[in-house]
């Protein structure tokens, strides 16, 4: 059942049942075990090279790598997370280990915050449900922002509920206030557009719900959002000519927004398929791998019903509304999709789902053994299917995205080193590994035109990378052609500019 905001529970756990005060409660140990398993499950992904987006984020703080072009839609939050390691070493494995540790600790901390909002066992189940998703494990060690938006959203919602519950008792929950401020600031720092959608239900709650209309809740929420948005706003005026211009450029790069009735089908398709669908072939999906996403709405509704019956409506309704709010643009309004986009929605939906599973087990009565068996069987099937998808995704990423080190070594042998420039196919990751600057002619990361690149090639070692048998751009067709090692299964050719 749902736990009341428990002052007495902590006292009981502190030693009233004969345990020493420093002994962690059982649920805390269980959640720690979930976080440990979540971290261990990420080890298989450490062998992956950095992808396109990752190299752009890391290059901003790696002193040994020229800074890559930072386009309008990007935000610098995940770069700050990478800075403690990337500023010291360029070793990719060290960066993977660092993010694995961070993500495991974050999962423990954000779901631990819910122990004072819902039953601790329900919070443990919620953390377990999220930790079992292949997409949550896959992006744990990666330098990408979506998972961190998910963690910070879970923290912000828990923080708001704890602050408002404390206000009703005229008792300030300092941990809850800190979670609210840091959660709101972090999700805005990571992805301001996601934070705007996620914060809508929270802002409405603070403005509309009478018991939530407190200075503490309002200051914590709006202060955190403003604090996280400040770097993005400052950069908008320094580099892009203002907020409206940056938003306009970001919308152009992302393809704009508009109702897209086919996006929902493509989203389901990516649940066991490509990491990016822009667009993707209509490959069939395995029912064994996607069944959970059809059970999820039912579990969420049951969790909300349980919360309402126990007089704790906000504990399930607020994360549900936040999950639905952030899911809306990614299910209906964009022109493309990727499984990582819905990580915040999955993390928030795990809370009412955990409530539903916990209530089923607690209230099963004499049918409890049957309920436990059913839940355990479903969990085993879920973990096995998600593990299979994870292995497939990691193997596919290794096949298609590893090999940049060999390409960089070949470029160095061709004289592309020092103050060098790389353009063309996969320019950002190749330039990162070759310690060159990536300069794209057009596209999402376009930072130079053809005439500018040709002029640059007269002063610096410059190469254009071409995929397979494709024709190089006109300005590079007379440049010296050299074969390169493959990246995955992709054959590459280098067109090296003549030296002046």
Sign of the dihedral defined by the CA atoms of residues 257, 259, 261, 267, in that order? positive
Q: What is the number of other CB atoms lying within 10 angstroms of the CB of residue 439? A: 24
Average pLDDT over residues 286-309: 89
How far is the first Cα of the chain from the last one, in angstroms, to the nearest whole number? 76
Distance CA 275, CA 287 (A): 18
**Element housing 441 (H / E):** strand 440-441
Environment class of 426 (CB within 10 Å of its CB; exposed 0-12, middle 13-18, buried 19+): buried
Average pLDDT over residues 202-206: 95
Per-domain residue ranges of the chain: 7-400, 404-496
Tens digit of each residue's pLDDT (9 = 90 or more) over 118-133: 999 999 999 999 999 9
- Which bin fits 114, alpha (ψ -120 to 50), beta or left (φ > 0)? alpha
Distance CA 139, CA 315 (A): 27
For the packed helices 26-41 and 92-112, what is the interaxial angle rounded to 10 degrees? Answer: 150
Closest of 23, 28, 92, 15 to residue 55, by C-alpha: 92
Average pLDDT over residues 329-350: 92
Cis peptide preceding 7, ω within 30 of 0: no
User: In 87-141, which ranges are continuous DSSP H helix?
Assistant: 92-112, 120-131, 134-138
Tens digit of each residue's pLDDT (9 = 90 or more) over 440-457: 987 777 788 899 999 999
Closest of 50, 182, 137, 127 to residue 339, by C-alpha: 137
**Element housing 491 (H / E):** strand 490-496
What is the DSSP pairing of strand 480-487 with strand 490-496?
antiparallel
Asked whether the predicted pLDDT for residue 466 surpasses 70, the reply is yes
Tens digit of each residue's pLDDT (9 = 90 or more) over 12-71: 333 333 333 445 689 999 999 999 999 999 999 999 999 999 999 999 999 999 999 999
For residues 387 and 260, the model is more confident at 387
Distance CA 300, CA 316 (A): 8
Q: What is the pTM of this model?
A: 0.91
For residues 226 and 312, the model is more confident at 226
Residue with tokens 């993390």: 347
- Predicted local confidence at residue 14, as pLDDT: 36
For the packed helices 427-434 and 404-413, what is the interaxial angle rounded to 10 degrees? Answer: 60
Asked whether the predicted pLDDT for residue 6 surpasses 70, the reply is no
Tens digit of each residue's pLDDT (9 = 90 or more) over 183-194: 999 999 999 999
């Amino acid at each position: 059942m749902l736990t009341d905001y428990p002052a007495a529970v902590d006292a009981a756990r502190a030693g009233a049942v004969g345990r020493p005060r420093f002994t962690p409660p059982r649920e805390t140990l269980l959640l720690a075990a979930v976080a440990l398993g979540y971290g261990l499950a990420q080890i298989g992904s450490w062998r992956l090279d950095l992808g396109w987006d990752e190299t752009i984020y890391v290059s901003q703080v790696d002193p040994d790598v020229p800074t890559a072009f930072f386009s309008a839609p990007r935000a610098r939050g995940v770069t700050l997370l990478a800075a403690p390691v990337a500023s010291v070493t360029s070793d990719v494995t060290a960066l993977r280990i660092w993010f694995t540790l961070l993500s495991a600790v974050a999962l423990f901390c954000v779901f631990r915050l819910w122990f004072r909002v819902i039953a601790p066992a329900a919070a443990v189940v919620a953390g377990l449900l999220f930790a079992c998703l292949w997409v949550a494990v896959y992006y744990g060690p990666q330098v990408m922002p979506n998972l961190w938006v998910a963690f910070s959203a879970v923290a912000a919602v828990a923080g708001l509920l704890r602050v408002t519950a404390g206000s009703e008792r005229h008792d300030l929950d300092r941990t809850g206030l800190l979670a609210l401020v840091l959660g709101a600031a972090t999700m805005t720092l990571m992805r301001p557009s996601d934070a705007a959608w996620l914060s809508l239900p929270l802002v409405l709650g603070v403005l509309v719900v009478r018991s939530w209309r407190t200075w503490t809740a309002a200051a914590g929420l709006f202060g955190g959002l403003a604090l996280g948005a400040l770097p993005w706003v400052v950069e908008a005026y320094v580099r892009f000519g203002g907020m409206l211009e940056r938003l306009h450029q970001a919308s152009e790069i992302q393809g704009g927004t508009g109702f897209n009735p086919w996006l929902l089908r493509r989203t389901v398709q990516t649940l066991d398929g490509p990491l990016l669908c822009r667009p993707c072939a209509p490959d069939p999906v395995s029912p064994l791998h996607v069944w959970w996403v059809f059970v999820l709405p039912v579990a969420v509704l049951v969790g909300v019903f349980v919360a309402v019956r126990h007089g704790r409506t906000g504990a399930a309704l607020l994360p549900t509304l936040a999950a639905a709010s952030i899911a809306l643009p990614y299910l209906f309004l964009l022109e493309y999709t990727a499984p990582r986009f819905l990580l915040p929605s999955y993390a928030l939906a795990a809370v009412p789902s955990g409530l539903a599973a916990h209530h089923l087990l607690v209230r099963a009565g004499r049918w409890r053994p049957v309920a436990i068996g059913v839940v355990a069987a479903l969990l085993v099937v879920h973990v096995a299917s998600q593990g299979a998808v994870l292995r497939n995704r990691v193997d596919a990423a290794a096949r298609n995205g590893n090999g940049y080190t060999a390409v960089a070594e070949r470029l160095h042998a061709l004289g592309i080193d020092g103050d060098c420039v790389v353009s063309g196919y996969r320019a950002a990751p190749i330039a990162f590994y070759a310690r060159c600057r990536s300069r794209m002619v057009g596209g999402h990361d376009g930072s130079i035109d053809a005439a500018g690149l040709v002029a640059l090639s007269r002063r610096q070692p410059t190469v254009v990378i071409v995929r397979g048998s494709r024709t190089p751009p006109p300005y590079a067709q007379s440049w010296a052609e050299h074969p390169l090692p493959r990246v995955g299964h992709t054959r590459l050719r280098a067109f090296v500019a003549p030296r002046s």
